[in-house]
Structure 1
Amino acid sequence: MSIQNIKVGKSVRYRWYFRRVIEGHEIRRTKLLPAGTTRATANSLAAKWDADMYAGLNRVRGVKVTIGDCVRAHIVAEAENWKDAHKRIKILEKWAPEYAFQNALDLHDWSRKFIGYLRATQDHQGEPKRPLVNGTIKNILSYLRAAIRYAHMIGLVNVDQTARMVIPPANNARYNYPTRRQMLTIARACKNRQVRAAIRIAFYSGMRRGEILNAEVTDLGFFLRATKNGHARIVPIHPRIAVLARHLAFSISMSQFEKAWIRARTIAGYTQTRFHDFRHSSASEMINAGYDLRTVGEVLGHLSLSSTQRYTHLEVARLAKAVAQIGKKRDTTAPSVH
């Protein structure tokens, strides 16, 4: 961020600062904003002054503007207006090493390589990592594209090259619902006690992996303080995992978890199964038992029914079975109705 809070006497004011090292030379600029300036105004001014500085440096030194520069400028000026600011910034920070120093005018080949890395099952050090699906990849690239377009709008980059970015289609329709038998087969193949327990908990709760590892066990159920949608919730504990849930504390790292999980599903013969698929299995089991989409969505922690609509086909299939029973003869001794 290029805005600082500083104390002047008894009041707090905003100060803009710019710092960048170019060809071994440090470029610094700073400016104290007038008293009474709001945070929104300060951010807007900072974005403009940052753009002016970059534009000047580009003309004088021919310095390239990176995607990282664009993202920083976008966050400073617009983050307060984003409804999903916390989520977006967290995602941008996570993948910053992959784009921070990439030229914002050279996007085609870079975006193809970036997509390949996001889909890969190993990181740059050869350690296992979770491959991302097209929808998630599209969201990440959309955030970066928006930042570059903003940078072009304020004059930070001379040409908008975002049309050259490769954006994958977000068709992530996957109908993989591991059965209880498949879940148990993978769990039995797992040598790590904590991962084995997480597999069973995932199937019987519908919780995400991160939620399982951080859940607090209470008398009411699993208490999830931090969730994907930002709202705490409680997930009732299924009787089949009650003892397991109350006597197991998770201390495994994500990399250890991923290694054990990939090894277990490979040994079990289900190499295409994702850990997240057990969440779909939970939804399937509840719907097939007769529970409506709204109830299923509440268990899974969906903020809106639209997130649960992906399971509509399951509910329709259940209703179709019910409709098929209409008119079937149940008791041949029943009296006829005239």
Structure 2
Amino acid sequence: MSSRELPPEPADAVERFATHLRDEAGRSPHTVRAYRADVVSMLTFAAERGVARVSDLDLSVLRAWLAARRAAGSARATLARQVSAARVFTDWAVRRGLADTDVGARLTGPAVRRNPPSVLRPDQAEALLAVAAADTSPVALRDAAVLETLYATGIRVSELCGLDVSDVDFARRLVRVLGKGARERSVPFGAPAERAMRVYLQTARGELCRSATESAMFLGVRGGRLHPSSVRRLLDRRQTAAGGPAVTPHDLRHSAATHLLEGGADLRSVQELLGHASIDSTQIYTHVTAERLRGAFDQAHPRA
């Protein structure tokens, strides 16, 4: 759906809104694309009903748009995002003088059911890392360093692929990560990840690199920056060899967070490590650890 199909005033508002999200609010490219598409959908729906200006939007139009989205089969998570996009847009429109009233402030959407994340047991994570470390080819050494870094830090796969060599501080065992919303944070890693990264840098990265100016920490087989899809494939290969359950890079992130909490880390520290803007996003891991505690209790206590 294109903003070119909109009347001139809302079409201009969409582009200004997208620029605001990108340049002022620091939203990720994915969020900018999603919110822009949602707002175009909303304003197109309104225009088809004779609402040609942002200032003429009202709550009934927004609710009718969401009802149409629901009838078209939008999932609960998608509807929740569309509500968020509409609310952010109408708030922005008031602050920019395009509307007098924030009609989206009273808009509500469905609660999103959050399933517990998929988490490896510590022994399964150890088996995966051991299999990756058993091979000494350049690609295998890279794979081992990638998996050790993902599990040690809990960073997102996009954050891992965005790392440059200069982002790794071996002296302090920290990686500098650029996360969602262009927020930068430093994440610690342990001795096993340090060893894997040092071996990769000293013996494998030069074999993969095709350009002296390439700054990426982790490289693909063609010498360029490693892509998230390649990380997913290498994880599939290594996990199949380890004989464990299917796992994604995000499952390693979930596992790292859960194992930190089970080891005694406090929730705020885990929030900082994961780069969550809100602790609500980190709370889900407390449910996982509580379920594990219940399982252990039921199995071991004589009066469970």
User: So what's the TM-score if we normalise by structure 1?
Assistant: 0.51
Q: Which amino acid aligns with 1:210?
A: S
Q: Which amino acid aligns with 1:238?
A: G
Alignment partner of 2:15: what SS? Answer: helix
**8 Å Cα contact 1:229/1:303 also seen in 2:** no
Q: Which amino acid aligns with 1:152?
A: F
Equivalent residue for 2:271? 297
Equivalent residue for 1:183? 125
* Residue 210 in structure 1 maps to residue 152 in structure 2: no
In 1: Cα distance, 2:4 partner to 2:161 partner: 40
**8 Å Cα contact 2:128/2:242 also seen in 1:** yes
In 1: Cα distance, 2:153 partner to 2:284 partner: 18
Unaligned runs of 5+ in 1: 3-17, 21-46, 52-71, 94-139, 322-338
Q: Which amino acid aligns with 2:37?
A: L
2:72 to 142, 149, 165: 165
In 1: Cα distance, 2:4 partner to 2:7 partner: 15
Q: Which amino acid aligns with 2:262?
A: N
Give the superposition deviation at 1:201. Answer: 1.7
Matches within 5 A, 1:1-338: 48-49=7-8, 75-79=14-18, 82=21, 86-87=26-27, 89-91=29-31, 140=34, 144-154=37-47, 162-170=69-77, 171-190=113-132, 192-215=140-163, 216-218=167-169, 219-247=171-199, 248=201, 249-252=217-220, 253-254=226-227, 255-314=229-288
Give the superposition deviation at 1:172. Answer: 4.0
In 2: Cα distance, 1:206 partner to 1:178 partner: 13
Alignment partner of 1:297: what SS? Answer: helix
In 2: Cα distance, 1:320 partner to 1:173 partner: 17
Q: 1:200 to 1:156 in 2, by over 3 A?
A: farther
Q: 1:144 to 1:153 in 2, by over 3 A?
A: same
Structure (1/2) with the larger helix percentage: 2
**8 Å Cα contact 2:177/2:185 also seen in 1:** yes
Alignment partner of 1:276: what SS? Answer: helix
RMSD of Structure 2 on Structure 1 (CA): 3.9
Q: Which amino acid aligns with 2:158?
A: G
**8 Å Cα contact 2:122/2:259 also seen in 1:** no
Alignment partner of 2:175: what SS? Answer: strand
Alignment partner of 2:143: what SS? Answer: helix
Q: 1:295 to 1:257 in 2, by over 3 A?
A: closer
Give the superposition deviation at 1:316. Answer: 5.0
Alignment partner of 2:186: what SS? Answer: strand
Give the superposition deviation at 1:306. Answer: 1.4
Q: Which amino acid aligns with 1:196?
A: A
Q: Can you list the C-alpha shifts for 1:112-167, whole angstroms capped at 9, x where unaligned?
A: xxxxxxxxxxxxxxxxxxxxxxxxxxxx5x76343211123345999965344322
**8 Å Cα contact 1:178/1:278 also seen in 2:** yes
Alignment partner of 1:178: what SS? Answer: coil
Structure (1/2) with the larger strand percentage: 1
Q: 1:260 to 1:154 in 2, by over 3 A?
A: same
In 2: Cα distance, 1:153 partner to 1:198 partner: 48
Equivalent residue for 1:23? none
Q: 1:288 to 1:211 in 2, by over 3 A?
A: same
Determine which structure has greater relative contact order: mean sequence separation of CA pairs < 8 Å that are 6+ residues apart, divided by chain length.
2
In 2: Cα distance, 1:87 partner to 1:301 partner: 14
**8 Å Cα contact 2:152/2:193 also seen in 1:** yes
In 2: Cα distance, 1:308 partner to 1:274 partner: 19
In 1: Cα distance, 2:276 partner to 2:233 partner: 29
Unaligned runs of 5+ in 2: 52-63, 78-112, 202-216, 221-225, 296-304
Q: 1:259 to 1:156 in 2, by over 3 A?
A: farther
Give the superposition deviation at 1:251. Answer: 0.9
Q: Can you list the C-alpha shifts for 1:12-60, whole angstroms capped at 9, x where unaligned?
A: xxxxxx999xxxxxxxxxxxxxxxxxxxxxxxxxx74277xxxxxxxxx
User: So what's the TM-score if we normalise by structure 2?
Assistant: 0.56
Q: Can you list the C-alpha shifts for 1:269-300, whole angstroms capped at 9, x where unaligned?
A: 33532221121222222212222111111122
**8 Å Cα contact 2:148/2:196 also seen in 1:** no
Alignment partner of 1:87: what SS? Answer: coil
Q: Can you list the C-alpha shifts for 1:148-192, whole angstroms capped at 9, x where unaligned?
A: 111233459999653443222343413422123212323344463
Identity of aligned pairs, percent?
22
Bigger mean CA offset, 255-264 vs 76-85: 76-85
Equivalent residue for 2:88? none
Bigger mean CA offset, 296-305 vs 264-273: 264-273
